[in-house]
């Protein structure tokens, strides 16, 4: 799993770099080169440099908006980071950091914060001070509770928490009003209660948990387009599934389903329905195919 997360984190970094104009904002890879530059330094990468600590001189680069310290040997976030108050993108993936200092609240302009593949057991509540955050990536850490501080940042559009040990999610998720993408796959969730989801949510990944039942409130997420709840312990689907009016793709593979409600036929935009690995009789699959001729059903 960690290899998959590593691939995703590298791909994500490439996407971010593609957004930065390399001519206008060249990415420096050495502190001396950056300090000696005649131009203002906006972007620096110390990726896979074997660093145990950041060079303290980095605090002199007060115009930095992009900092990549991915793939080093850091065991803590050096205080110099928190003097870089112009930072918008911070990548700390693949280190050995176990906590986020209180000073994280200094980075008011931060919009993307990535700490995949570290040793975090909790998220500092001061992250709630980062009201400009749009995307957070905390995949493959040691979190066992959904970070409640994230629920205080309504501007968030993307949350990635894949591959942790999360089993508890407070019912305040709906407060992240702009959330569009939520990845909770490969955790230890078995009971979502009747969790309420943000109205703008489009992508929801719940695969590889231990979920027995999808919450009724999920079916009120009328903007949801992609749902992956495969590899869980789901035994039935509520007729209220008809509320997912904009759903395009639904993956329910490898659960314990023996049938689906006829109301699923009301999902006129559903193009792909994956049911492989469920104990559904072929006659019931044929009935679904007749009810949903425009949907590609895999079983």
pLDDT in tens, 96-134: 999 999 999 999 999 999 999 999 999 999 999 999 999
Strand segments, DSSP code E, in the chain are 27-28, 43-45, 66-68, 89-91, 112-114, 135-137, 158-160, 181-183, 203-205, 226-228, 249-251, 272-274, 296-298
* pLDDT at residue 120, rounded to an integer: 98
Residue among 77, 122, 129, 125 nearest 107 (CA): 129
Confidence of residue 185 (pLDDT cuts 50, 70, 90): very high
* pLDDT at residue 4, rounded to an integer: 46
User: What mean pLDDT comes out for the span 57-70?
Assistant: 97
CA distance linking residue 31 with residue 53, whole number of Å: 13
Indicate the pTM of the whole model.
Answer: 0.92
Q: 3-class SS at 78?
A: coil
The sign of the CA dihedral 126, 55, 30, 46 is negative
* pLDDT at residue 19, rounded to an integer: 57
Strand segments, DSSP code E, in 63-183 are 66-68, 89-91, 112-114, 135-137, 158-160, 181-183
Residue among 253, 259, 166 nearest 209 (CA): 166
CA distance linking residue 16 with residue 33, whole number of Å: 22
* pLDDT at residue 18, rounded to an integer: 43
* pLDDT at residue 20, rounded to an integer: 64
> Per-residue pLDDT tens for 271-287?
999 999 999 999 999 99
Percentage of the residues of the chain whose pLDDT score is greater than 70: 93
Q: Is the pLDDT of residue 209 over 90?
A: yes
Residue among 135, 140, 146 nearest 195 (CA): 146
Per the prediction, the chain carries an average pLDDT of 93
Structural domains in the chain, sorted by start: 1-158 (3.80.10.10), 189-299 (3.80.10.10)
Confidence of residue 201 (pLDDT cuts 50, 70, 90): very high
User: What mean pLDDT comes out for the span 48-74?
Assistant: 97
Q: What share of the chain is helix, strand, coil (3-state, %, to 5)?
A: 25, 15, 60
* pLDDT at residue 22, rounded to an integer: 65
């Amino acid at each position: 799993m960690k290899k998959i997360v590593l691939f995703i984190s590298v791909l994500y970094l490439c996407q971010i770099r593609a957004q930065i104009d390399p001519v206008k904002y060249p990415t420096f890879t050495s502190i001396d080169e950056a300090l000696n530059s005649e131009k203002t330094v906006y972007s620096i990468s110390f990726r896979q440099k074997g660093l145990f600590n950041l060079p303290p001189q980095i605090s002199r680069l007060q115009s930095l908006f992009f900092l990549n310290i991915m793939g080093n040997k850091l065991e803590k976030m050096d205080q110099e980071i928190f003097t870089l108050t112009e930072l918008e993108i911070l990548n700390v993936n693949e280190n050995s950091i176990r906590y986020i200092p209180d000073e994280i609240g200094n980075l008011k302009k931060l919009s993307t914060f990535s700490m995949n593949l570290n040793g975090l057991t909790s998220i500092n509540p001061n992250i709630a001070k980062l009201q400009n955050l749009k995307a957070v990536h905390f995949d493959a850490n040691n979190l066992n509770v959904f970070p409640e501080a994230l629920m205080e940042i309504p501007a968030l559009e993307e949350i990635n928490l894949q591959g942790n040990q999360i089993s508890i999610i407070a019912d305040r998720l709906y407060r992240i009003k702009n959330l569009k993408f939520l990845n909770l796959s490969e955790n230890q969730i078995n009971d979502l209660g009747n969790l309420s989801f943000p109205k703008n949510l489009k992508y929801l990944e719940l695969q590889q948990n231990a979920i027995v039942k999808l919450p009724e409130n999920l079916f009120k997420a009328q903007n949801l387009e992609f749902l992956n709840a495969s590899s869980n312990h789901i035994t039935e689907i509520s007729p209220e599934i008809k509320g997912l009016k904009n759903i395009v793709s639904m993956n329910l593979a490898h659960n314990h389903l023996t049938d689906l409600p006829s109301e699923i036929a009301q999902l006129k935009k559903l193009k792909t329905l994956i049911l492989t690995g469920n104990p559904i009789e072929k006659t019931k699959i044929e009935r679904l195919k007749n009810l949903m001729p425009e949907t590609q059903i895999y079983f």
